[in-house]
Amino acid sequence: MSFESTLHGLALLPGFSEFNSLMEGPLFILFFAVVALAAFIILKKRSSRAALLFSIVLAVVLSTLLKLLYAEVRPCAGSGSCVDGYGFPSAHSALFFAIAMPMFGTKWFYGFLLVAVVVALSRVVEGVHTIPQIVAGMALGFVCSVIANSVVGIAGAAYAKINYKRGKNR
């Protein structure tokens, strides 16, 4: 029995369908907004907040573009209950890892990472994504946060340099 088919079996667990209702439509947007807002509030530094927001924006843009580029159908394609759109990479996975990674260095990181892992695995349990699709999403979320952190760091350094020069000229 493969890991993926074992995960599909978890769909029978009580409470899974209720949890899964958070993963689509307006409820998903609300769930995502709450998690993102919680991360934003927890991060106190302005640069960390900027990195979080940039990481989320990058994850949204890149996961959408990559879905169109790879055009890989979902494993549930053809069945009536399958959601629309391509499956590779998992945008849910990318988004929640893009939120979790900027929390690195705080004790909250474990909680956000757990949420990201549960969200990603729930997509496989539901049958709307395969394991490679959620792993690709996870890797994308990680890369987005690394790029965001890097860009914010460069921008911050440039801003500090400009301010320093301005201060000198006064």
Partner 1 sequence: MNEDNRQAVHFAVGVIAILIVAFVGFNTALVIFSALFLIGLCLANYKLLGGKVKFVDKFLQAFDREERIPAAGAMFYAAGILMILTYARSIEFAFGIIALQAAGDAFATVVGSRFQRGWKLPWNSEKTYPGMLAFIVTGSAAAWIFLPFQEAVVFGVILAIVETLPINLDDNLSVPIAALILKRGMGL
Positions touching partner 1 (CB under 8 A) are 2-4, 66, 69-70, 89, 104-107, 109-110, 113, 117, 130-132, 135-136, 138-140, 142-143, 146-147, 150, 153-154
| Rounded distance between C-alpha atoms, residue 150 and residue 24, angstroms | 32
Our CB check for partner 1 shows the closer of 53 and 146 to be 146
Nearer to partner 1, 5 or 169 (CB): 5
The nearest distance, CB 109 to partner 1, in angstroms, is 5
> Smaller CB distance to partner 1: residue 59 or 138?
138
CB of 46 to partner 1, least distance (A): 19
Q: How far is CA 127 from CA 24, 73, 130, in A?
A: 13, 12, 7
The distance of closest approach from Cβ of residue 32 to partner 1 in the complex, given in angstroms and rounded to an integer, is 21
CB 32 within 8 A of CB 41: no
- Least separation in angstroms between residue 87's CB and partner 1 is 12
109-126 and 91-100 helices, crossing angle to 10°? 170
Residue 13 zone, left/alpha/beta (φ > 0; ψ -120 to 50; rest):
beta
